[in-house]
């Protein structure tokens, strides 16, 4: 029992914003020109990292820069299906999680000790996407945060 209490103290000390979900403040971020929107945990992703490459939106970082979140609308001028759009992006080999429907795709894996997660929803002329990168060793602590971000993505 004492070891468990010490571990909890360590987790709460090192990952306070992730470990204490009740203390996490969320705000809706909207890409003005496309109306894509998503819930962003602003107590976790507190740093503005500017515009993303290859799309319209915003990048956010954790204060320690160990994790990042990109919210963007990527042009899809041919209105490709999520499967076709994903294939054209040449995703890296070894994807551990992949779900593709007519409305969206979600893919995730680990590269260089970092978990990456990407979800894109099909919209007229765009794919509205969230991309999240964080330390793979912290995957359990990030599960609820990634799930909420992903499920809140709207066109």
DSSP codes, 68-108:
EEEEEEEE-TT---HHHHHHHT-PPS--SEEEE-SSEEEEE
Average pLDDT over the chain reads 88
Dist CA 52 CA 40 (whole Å): 16
Query: How does residue 9 score in pLDDT terms, banded at 50, 70 and 90?
Result: very low
- Give domain limits for the chain: 25-152
- How much is the pLDDT for 22? 59
Dist CA 22 CA 47 (whole Å): 20
Q: 143 and 108 in contact (C-beta within 8 Å)?
A: no
Query: pTM to 2 decimals?
Result: 0.84
pLDDT tens by residue, 81-137: 999 999 999 888 889 999 999 999 999 999 999 999 999 999 999 999 999 999 999
**Residue scoring higher pLDDT (122 or 23):** 122
25-152 architecture in CATH? 3-Layer(aba) Sandwich (3.40)
């Amino acid at each position: 029992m004492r070891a468990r209490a010490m571990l909890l103290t360590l987790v709460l000390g090192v990952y306070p914003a992730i470990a204490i979900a009740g203390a996490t403040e969320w705000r809706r971020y909207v890409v003005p020109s496309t109306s894509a929107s998503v819930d962003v945990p602003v107590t976790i992703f507190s740093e503005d990292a500017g515009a993303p490459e290859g799309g319209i939106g915003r990048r956010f970082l954790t204060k320690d820069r160990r994790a990042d979140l990109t919210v963007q609308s990527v042009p899809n001028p041919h209105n490709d299906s999520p499967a076709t759009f994903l294939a054209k992006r040449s995703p890296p080999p070894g994807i551990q999680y992949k779900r593709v429907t007519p409305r969206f795709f979600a893919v995730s894996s680990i590269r260089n000790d970092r978990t990456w997660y990407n979800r894109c929803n099909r919209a007229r002329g765009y794919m509205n996407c969230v991309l999240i990168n964080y330390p793979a060793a912290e995957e359990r602590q990030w599960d609820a945060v990634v799930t909420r971000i992903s499920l809140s993505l709207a066109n």
